[in-house]
Amino acid sequence: MTQQGPHTAAIHGGLDPAEHRGAVSVPIYQTSTFAFPSAEEGAARFGGTSDGLIYSRLGNPTIQALEECVAALEEGAGAVATATGMAAVSTALLALLRQGDHIIATQPIYGASRALMQKTFARFGITSTFVRAADTAVIRSALRPETRLIYVETPANPTLDLVDLEAAVEVARFAGIPLVVDNTFAGPHLQRPLAMGADLVVHSMTKSLNGHSDVIAGMIVARQTSMLEAVRHTAISFGTTMDPHQAWLVLRGIRTLGMRVERAQENAIKLAQWLEDLPSVAWVRYPGLPSHPQHDLAKRQMSGPGSMIAFELPGGVDAGRILMNNVRLITLAVSLGGVESLIEHPASMTHASVTAQEQREEGITPGLVRLSVGCEDLDDIRADLAQALSAVEEATLAIRSAGVSPTGTGASRPRTRQDPKHLL
């Protein structure tokens, strides 16, 4: 079959009705084990001379359909589905590393990923060096004789810094080591690192691939079959593989991936432009804005800027807290990539495991707000942000009138008390 477009691949990937009695939706094969037609066939399957099914931890038709679909979207040789996004990260690292090895990782990255490398893997003699995502040149300078893996996350969580993937691939090829890319924020509809030369892509499919905030799941996609087999063996051995019902739900979500991503992205572009023009917002970081320091890189390696926005209010952490406590439509919750808009405070939530000093090094300021823009009507999202921002302004004026200096960080701008409509 010729290469399909992203919408077509999402809708038809992993599905061959002829393999499922003509079903146009892959059935849920909710079974733990599979019967052998004969003792000889059972022995052949365990011996590796037959590819028949044995046990759902080792392989399941519903899970295989999902793996085939995501592999097609990422233009990879194949994929391994895992129970969670962190299972994908840990399985990929376990498959490629051993005692005494060294990881170079860009920062910021998801807090749990950093903690896994910095704390858990350190117990087994695997060390890590973290370098700024936006400065790819420092990756090369961080290489050691024992470096065995480069791990990047782009766009980075939560600052939306970008890693130049072509440059990172060049460093990995120079060192003869694999490049692993966390592609969760962009997803395969907007960015395909394997096509640029990365070796593995990991996903939290909890996010945009599933898109409905009802499933936790992960995926690892490999550019080459040899690395795929190492990953699959590790997933099976450690038991990080997926449940078939979980796979069916994610596969169902993927069918609308392109439509959801493009709708949310359209909203995000307009919201980011609107937020940047407000005097009540200190700064906005969004790859689709010309003000993003890597805007040109985003246009080069992504087919769209996505639906994640980072911004800061002049009042710092207190202003951010007031904002999040006053949203009504937008949900105060972690995660991202769902059909609903979500807002959270990285310093005290998703990156709470990262020390204050490390947060400063990563550019995670106390007042940073992370907004995952959803598929609601734009006017409704904007109106909700407007009334919440108005509440921040009113609280700030009340504090000033009481003669109390507001706490938190962030450069202030002149502001006046106005009706929320002035923000629309």
The residues annotated with a catalytic role in the active site are 57, 110, 182, 207
Calculate helix-pair angle for 225-238, 85-96, nearest 10 degrees: 110
Cβ(144)–Cβ(127) below 8 Å: no
Q: Which residues does 99 contact at the CB level (< 8 Å), separation at least 6?
A: 124, 125, 126
Q: Name the residue with tokens 């808009």.
A: 341
How many CA within 13 A on the CB side of residue 235? 30
Amino acid at 200: L
Residues 139, 177: Cα–Cα separation, whole Å: 13
Q: Name the residue with tokens 């290489």.
A: 143
Rounded alpha-carbon distances, angstroms, from residue 148 to 76, 106, 119, 177, 181: 22, 15, 18, 6, 15
Cβ(26)–Cβ(20) below 8 Å: yes
Name the token pair of 108.
């910021």
Cβ(268)–Cβ(308) below 8 Å: yes
Q: Which of 248, 272, 267, 289 is nearest to 340 (CA)?
A: 267
Angle at 108 between CA 388 and CA 164, to 5 degrees: 110
Give strand ranges (E) for 159-246.
179-182, 200-204, 218-222
Rg from Cα positions in the chain: 23
H/E/C letters for each residue in 268-305?
A: HHHHHHHHHCCCCCCEEECCCCCCCCCHHHHHHHCCCC
Cβ(108)–Cβ(102) below 8 Å: no
Q: How many helices (H) and strands (E) does the chain have?
A: 14, 12
